[in-house]
Structure 1
């Protein structure tokens, strides 16, 4: 059949077929013309050119699509092969590089929620803060989810659980609680600013342990060995609870006569009721009356509301007392009495 006669007779229908196959209407005629031109010799020899042109048109329109996945697979195989070759030549990825893709949640005890978000951000960890109404100063970190010590991927978000102002009435010990939290932050992060007397008497495991300079930071020698280091070591311990850190309990009132089986100090020149801070962790086996021994801080204030005595009871402590070169205030009082 003559190609020109076939084009004149079937061109319109072939364009419709091309559109039905998905060719845009404004480009269908060009596709048909190209197919007819490619098949002109077969059209001339065929008794029914549609048997030649229509399959060729389908192949021209759909054939490229059917070959596309094969080409994509071939490209993917090439990429995988290249990556395998690089791995064989360069060796497996460095373990340190793999570990950089995860981060460890740090201990957040003794921090405010703002400080915790900053600390986690410095470790490359995204955060959100979940406020929990509680009768404590707002913004004190209670823990995190996932807890400290856990590893998180870059796409994970750590929820910081922090105190928030409650809608109900709280006991009239707000000042003592604020002072206690500030002292805890003073020891752990250095950000707290509790009211401290110029000279703070220290007791460790029930024994007098010298004094600390209330005008200096907790990292100064007079604070570190006796108070800060034991508290920080206990606070940073892994804890098997949902928060991942010791639970902070604060009470105000007369202390019990003994703490962890040791006599509770009864210092002079202080108000009768100290504020007691207990960091409840895993505990030890040397408790009393079936209670596990926990790290305990008793904060005694003077008449001006400044902390003048700090008593620390450490789980497993042995009453280390002061070093031999330290003269405590009680020792000095005894010397003055002897001189009289």
Structure 2
């Protein structure tokens, strides 16, 4: 494909994606242009240039395989470095970020080497409680983002790292930015609440009375929207695949899958697979894409969660598009596995 034709056709939509990842509106198009220029040769050879550009844009904004930190997120590199040098750090608006109490790890570890767990789907306070219960010392650093405040983005050192001696884990979490965000706060609140509902059960979006579940385009059943996510069908179709995916080692600076939230008309395919097309829902879809990345085939296609709403705005259908999950560290320690194990295969229910 001609690169300039692609730029003209997709620049606006890609800039919207950049803003959804936390890039200030005034910088979004420049970031997109920089990514397109860097990927010019791959775009020209690609069957679908979005498969090249979208993952590259996420890596540019949130950090990718080269294990560097993007300058686009305000203060990210400076904040992480400062976290190792001082006990109190400041965000871009110079308000002090209070350090969480450090836990004495000598008490109750029985000589075992603690490992940084997956923190995706937790708030900063939940991450502090989880690490504290594992006798891991921590501090929390805020990074401005157009997402609900206090959502954990990752940690330094990253998930899966064995800790020794007096190591302290720096938890990187969102804070409210000083710039103007897109008018989609409700969409982001729903998306992150759903992720927390699935991973920890500590939040809950507004569900319809009956929620239809789809996996890779196929309807697998209906669950009661008033019941907790511990229902067997919630676990097998949604919770187990999501928890397994967030526990994957992620080769980026955040140490965990990158989360992108968008709201747009639903696509007919997701990473080459037919998308779910439920009836009786609004045209716009809230989409979460969790991208762990890596070198495996299809690694650029993350785990996709589409939330479909009914006329009153309640989530009436949930659809997963599941990539090859690959190696996992297993579920986070605060999530109890179901009796059937952490399988990505959904239990087929009534259609």
Q: Where is the helix percentage greater, Structure 1 or Structure 2?
A: 1
Cα 1:320/1:101, change in 2 over 3 Å: closer
Q: Which residue of 2 aligns with 1:20?
A: none
**For the Cα contact (< 8 Å) 1:196–1:215, is it kept in 2?**
yes
Q: Does 1:205 align with 2:228?
A: no
Aligned to 2:293, the other structure's residue is in SS state: strand
The number of residue pairs the alignment matches comes to 226
Cα offset, 1:98, TM superposition:
9.9
Q: How far, CA to CA, are the matches of 1:316 and 1:122 in structure 2? A: 32
Q: In the alignment, is residue 136 of structure 1 matched against residue 129 of structure 2?
A: no
**Structure 2 matches for 1:231-246, cutoff 5 A?**
231-246=242-257
| Contact map agreement 1:208 1:322 (CA 8 A) in 2 | no
Is contact 1:208-1:321 (8 Å) kept?
no
Hey, what does 2:184 align to over in structure 1? 173
Larger radius of gyration: 1
Q: CA deviation at 1:99?
A: 7.7
In the TM superposition, 1:225-304 aligns within 5 A as 225-282=236-293, 287=298, 292-304=300-312
Distance in 2 separating the partners of 1:128 and 1:116 = 10
SS of residue matched to 1:187: helix
Report the Cα offset of residue 304 of structure 1.
Answer: 1.4
Question: TM-score, normalized by length of structure 1?
Answer: 0.63
Unaligned 5+ segments in structure 2 are 1-107, 326-343
Contact 1:205/1:320 (8 A) holds in 2: no
Q: SS at the partner of 1:143?
A: strand
For the structure 1 residues 285 and 134, does the alpha-carbon distance in structure 2 shift closer, same or farther, using more than 3 Å as the test? Answer: same
Residue 283 of structure 1, CA deviation: 5.6
Taking structure 1 as reference, are residues 196 and 283 closer, same or farther at Cα in structure 2, changes over 3 Å only? farther
Q: Post-superposition shift, 1:320?
A: 6.6
Which residue in the other structure is 2:196 paired with?
185
Distance 2:265 2:303 in 1: 18
Q: Of 327, 331, 336, which aligns to 2:350?
A: 327
Counterpart pick for 1:195 among 206, 217, 222: 206
1:257 offset after TM fit, Å?
A: 1.9
Which residue number in structure 2 is paired with residue 148 of structure 1?
Answer: 159
| Residue deviations 1:141-167 (CA, integer Å, cap 9, x gap) | 000001111012241211100010011
For the 8 Å contact 2:250–2:294, the answer to whether it is kept is no
Q: Is the 8 A contact 1:101 1:153 kept in 2?
A: no
RMSD across aligned C-alpha pairs, in angstroms? 2.2
Which residue is equivalent to 1:216? 227
CA distance in 2, matches of 1:155, 1:268: 55
The answer as to whether partners of 1:113 and 1:140 remain within 8 angstroms in 2 is yes
Structure 1: which 5+ runs fail to align?
1-96, 329-340
Runs of 4+ displaced beyond 3 Å:
283-287, 319-322
Q: Could you tell me how far apart the structure 1 residues matched to 2:350 and 2:114 are?
A: 47
* Cα distance change of structure 1 residues 293 and 283 upon mapping to structure 2, 3 Å threshold: farther
